Amino acid sequence: MLRSFFTPFRIAVISISILLLSFVVYASSDRDNHMDNYPGTGETIKWYSFNDALDEAKKINKAILIDFYTDWCHWCDVMDEKTYTNDQVKELIKEKFIPVKFDAESDKEVKYKNRSIPQVKLARELGVTGYPTTFFLESDGSIIGGQPGYLEPENFIKLLTFVANKEYLKKK
């Protein structure tokens, strides 16, 4: 009786159903919330919304670090898992920056330079064309610049230090 129930067709249907259910659960998970659950020292990165980051940066005079990502971006996930979990990276971000997770394909409106703009449009206006892209703003919201692509922790630490020390303002 059981042998006739588990036909190859039924096994295929059950397998596809489980696969689809897994995809739906993964796709509906909230990326911003899962970012706070990384191992290491126990310290986590407190990710701000874009608007809250602009307000906070003005108050405490810190630069803003924006992680432009998309939900489909493999290298964004790798950076989340390998770079943002590094204890030295987490410490530098905590001390020197107001960090923002920014979905570069979202139609959610943010306020920037006295106007409301969809996140997808702001990402384009800032020149973001690949993901992930790490972008920096001064505490007043003016542009410092960005670095496209995945960065290993060692290189990311160098970039964070360069921006934190305002090396980009120094003449050679």
pLDDT digits (tens, 9 = 90+) for 148-157: 999 999 999 9
Say whether domain 31-167 belongs to CATH 3.40.30.10.
yes
pLDDT grade, residue 170 (50/70/90)? Answer: confident
Residues in contact with 75: Cβ distance below 8 Å, sequence separation at least 6, in sequence order: 131, 132, 149, 150
- How confident is residue 10, by pLDDT bands cut at 50, 70 and 90? low
Res 20 pLDDT > 60: no
Report which of residues 57 and 8 the model is more confident about: 57
Q: Does residue 35 carry a pLDDT above 50?
A: no
Dist. CA 16–CA 101, nearest whole Å: 33
List the domain boundaries for the chain. Answer: 31-167
43 band by pLDDT with thresholds 50, 70 and 90: low
